[in-house]
Structure 1
Amino acid sequence: MTRQGAVVRRAPGKLFVAGEYAVVDPGNPAILVAVDRHVAVTVSGSPDADTVLSSDLGTRPARARWHEGGLVVRGEDGARRARALAHVIAAIEVVGRLLAERGLPVPALYVSVSSHLHDNGRKYGLGSSGAVTVATVAAVSSFCGVELSLEDRFRLAMLATARIDAKGSGGDLAASTWGGWIAYRAPARAAVLDLERRLGTDRTLRAPWPGFEVRRLPPPRGLSLEVGWTGEPASTADLVSDLHRRTWRGTASHRRFVEATTDCVHASVAALEAGDRRGLLEQIRRARRELARLDDEVGLGIFTTRLTELCAAAEAVGGAAKPSGAGGGDCGIALLDAEAASDISHVRKRWETAGVLPLPVRPAPEGNEK
């Protein structure tokens, strides 16, 4: 194992384009796009036996030590601080399991996180948990001299995240890993966790993962991706958990939603690959209608007043818009004619009047990188 100086790895945030909620079931497709705001993770050697965890969102560094294969944060408030750093810790632990299986030492580390997916502590809903997991896996493995393929990095990040919450689809991890526009199908998280328990981490990286698929897509031709933040932070995990607790799953309504959403994603992929701007806009509008129907039938609160106005403003100029992700706040996206500068300006002004902040983000063509 080759040890080196400090290693820095970045991973971009993400936005869902289509397929929300349905994608949590293994094998159902979604489209995501990485955005040009990043989380950066710097890893170097620790000066003592403690692994030190530092984040620009925290007050002071946390100190942790390995115990029975896991990192235990020290101090009276250790449990609270461990929860706040859960994704960083899980990412270090999964790389630690891989190193141990390969007969390599697990060193004490100094891990520093810097996020541009927040602004003065403000959360935009751009997938910071996924980005920090991917960046941490990449930085720690590289510092320890283990070079991984993009898919290996994704798989380790998925194993880390699934131990925290197996309901998450991992779409954010895929966007942060591959970058650009992607089509994604989630693996069966319970199955891959069982694989790791039975086979170990290293063999699980090489085993087939039921349901999993990812491939790059071309960006939409002649369309500008516009992003608006509602100023209303939302929890994807809470909304998805709420849906799982309801009797809706397994009903005829659930089956209709999954079938319609799957068809919408397939048609959107075909439109992207064919450069069919009009067809893509229609599918994004259709995706919005399906989310609205789900909201009406289940009452999750996907559409807030600001998200509804965000969509209406875009459609008023011939564009298409929808909530991105679980809804309930956070961000919405719009696809507008890239050459219609006056329409784009009009939509942004209308968003601002409605309390929606236009975000200066663009698609990030690269994923996890130095």
Structure 2
Amino acid sequence: MITAKAPGKLYIAGEYAVVENGYPAILVALNQFVTCSIKVSPADTGRIISEQYHENSLLWRRQGDKMVVDQRDNPFAYILSAISVTEEYARSLDRQLQIYDIYIDSQLDSANGKKYGLGSSAAVTVATVKALCLFYDLPVDKDKLFKLAAIAHFAVQGNGSLGDVAASVYGGWIAYHSFDRQWLAEQRQYLDLPTLLDLPWPDLKIESLTAPANLQLLIGWTGSPASTSRLVDKISLFKARQQDKYHHFLEESKACIQRMIEGFHQADLDVIKREIRKNRELLKNLGANSGVQIETPILHELCRIAEDFGGAAKTSGAGGGDCGIVAIDGHADLDGLLAAWQTKKIEQLPLAVHFVNSIRRYKLKIK
């Protein structure tokens, strides 16, 4: 059996703007994982098995008289897309395709199935691609692994920046500049995968960051999951209707994230905290202008309490629920902050930053 895992992630700053080509965000990979195991099937049929997903529910909506299923919230859609793309690459390298069983184990959702917003769709995509690359002995480094997983994930989701895929592949703290997805869609029509993987992708930039030694990251979960895809869809309407305000938001966000990246380079927690607060205000204004509730009342309380204890806090990801993050000095009264969260029924997720080794190291996990 071959086993590979991919970590979950959280956005630290730069949400929504990062969906535009070349605009930056900062993310962090966390030590909760999706694990994918593969073994050759003894039968003439293969299986995809997951304890978490066996009763997976599909979301659907009405479009006129049609019932439309939203595959973007279906983990199996990402697994199947990951298989399709990786096996396309395997065929291009003359590998003989096999029948196998895939076992998926996810730590990224709560025990009762609620989503924490840790990027489970990206992590399951990366873990599946990584395991299949080992299974077929495909020559990939982190850059090619990212590109394969990004192609597979984008084929299902159709929007988003793919920053969560980057965090799952590279690990640690990263600054991510999104690539031109329209270019990717066009190139997929006539370039083979080996050629596409070797090309530089327009605007793509992924940089590993080192956090200041005194930076403590706290994560609070509101207990209310949110759908990133649908929130991004709503912001797209605002973009179309109020282009000047949207463009102003983009430029302000870019400047904010660039200052924050410099704060990481200088190991200056005060700069990082200042820009987290700035990014929070930009996102709140975006929500007010677009009519999208990015910072919910419970997320507002999460941030207010953190600020009372000297932390800089904001929503993480698309908002509308899920998690908030806090950057705070490790010597602050963290116990007091967490106790105050508890009174508001905000759950601390006791997660740590995860750093990813080279994919070749995972061959040690072959059993």
Q: Does residue 115 of structure 1 match 2:106?
A: yes
How far residue 190 of structure 1 moved from its aligned partner, in angstroms, is 2.2
How far residue 353 of structure 1 moved from its aligned partner, in angstroms, is 1.2
Residue 148 of structure 1: aligned partner:
140
Runs of 4+ in structure 1 over 4 Å off: 247-250
Alpha-carbon distance between aligned partners in 2 of 1:27 and 1:194, rounded to the nearest angstrom: 18
Residue 38 of structure 1: aligned partner:
33
How far residue 368 of structure 1 moved from its aligned partner, in angstroms, is 7.5
Q: Does residue 351 of structure 1 match 2:346?
A: no
Secondary structure, counterpart of 1:42 in structure 2 = strand
Q: How many residues align?
A: 345
Residue-by-residue CA offset, 1:69-90 (whole Å, 9 max, x unaligned): xxxxxxxxxx99x954011111
Q: Would you say the 8 A contact 2:6–2:169 is kept in 1?
A: yes
Q: Does residue 366 of structure 1 match 2:356?
A: yes
Q: Does residue 203 of structure 1 match 2:198?
A: no
Residue 191 of structure 1: aligned partner:
183
Alpha-carbon distance between aligned partners in 2 of 1:105 and 1:258, rounded to the nearest angstrom: 47
How far residue 359 of structure 1 moved from its aligned partner, in angstroms, is 0.8
Alpha-carbon distance between aligned partners in 1 of 2:288 and 2:213, rounded to the nearest angstrom: 33
Q: Would you say the 8 A contact 1:43–1:143 is kept in 2?
A: yes
Task: In structure 1, list runs of 5 or more residues that go unmatched.
Answer: 1-5, 62-78
Residue 128 of structure 1: aligned partner:
120
Alpha-carbon distance between aligned partners in 1 of 2:339 and 2:16, rounded to the nearest angstrom: 30
Residue-by-residue CA offset, 1:152-180 (whole Å, 9 max, x unaligned): 01000010011112212100000000000
How far residue 146 of structure 1 moved from its aligned partner, in angstroms, is 1.1
Alpha-carbon distance between aligned partners in 1 of 2:83 and 2:183, rounded to the nearest angstrom: 22
**Greater alpha carbon shift after TM alignment, 299-308 vs 100-109:** 100-109
Alpha-carbon distance between aligned partners in 1 of 2:240 and 2:182, rounded to the nearest angstrom: 21
Residue-by-residue CA offset, 1:230-279 (whole Å, 9 max, x unaligned): 00000001100111133556622111110111011000000011011111
Q: Letter of the aligned partner of 1:178 in structure 2?
A: Y
Q: Would you say the 8 A contact 2:170–2:356 is kept in 1?
A: yes
Q: Choose from 20, 28, 53 the match for 2:48.
A: 53
Q: Would you say the 8 A contact 1:9–1:368 is kept in 2?
A: no
Alpha-carbon distance between aligned partners in 2 of 1:32 and 1:186, rounded to the nearest angstrom: 12
How far residue 141 of structure 1 moved from its aligned partner, in angstroms, is 1.2
1:187-266 paired onto structure 2 within 5 Å: 187-248=179-240, 251-266=243-258
Secondary structure, counterpart of 2:236 in structure 1 = helix
TM-align CA RMSD:
1.8
How far residue 296 of structure 1 moved from its aligned partner, in angstroms, is 1.1
Residue 298 of structure 1: aligned partner:
290
Alpha-carbon distance between aligned partners in 1 of 2:272 and 2:193, rounded to the nearest angstrom: 40
Task: In structure 2, list runs of 5 or more residues that go unmatched.
Answer: 57-69, 363-367
Aligned-pair identity in percent equals 36
Q: Letter of the aligned partner of 1:113 in structure 2?
A: I
Residue 170 of structure 1: aligned partner:
162
Secondary structure, counterpart of 1:85 in structure 2 = helix
C-alpha spacing 1:367/1:255, structure 2 compared with 1 (3 Å):
farther
Secondary structure, counterpart of 2:42 in structure 1 = coil
How far residue 122 of structure 1 moved from its aligned partner, in angstroms, is 2.3
Q: Would you say the 8 A contact 1:23–1:29 is kept in 2?
A: yes
Q: Does residue 94 of structure 1 match 2:89?
A: no
C-alpha spacing 1:282/1:114, structure 2 compared with 1 (3 Å):
same
C-alpha spacing 1:40/1:250, structure 2 compared with 1 (3 Å):
same
Alpha-carbon distance between aligned partners in 2 of 1:249 and 1:275, rounded to the nearest angstrom: 40
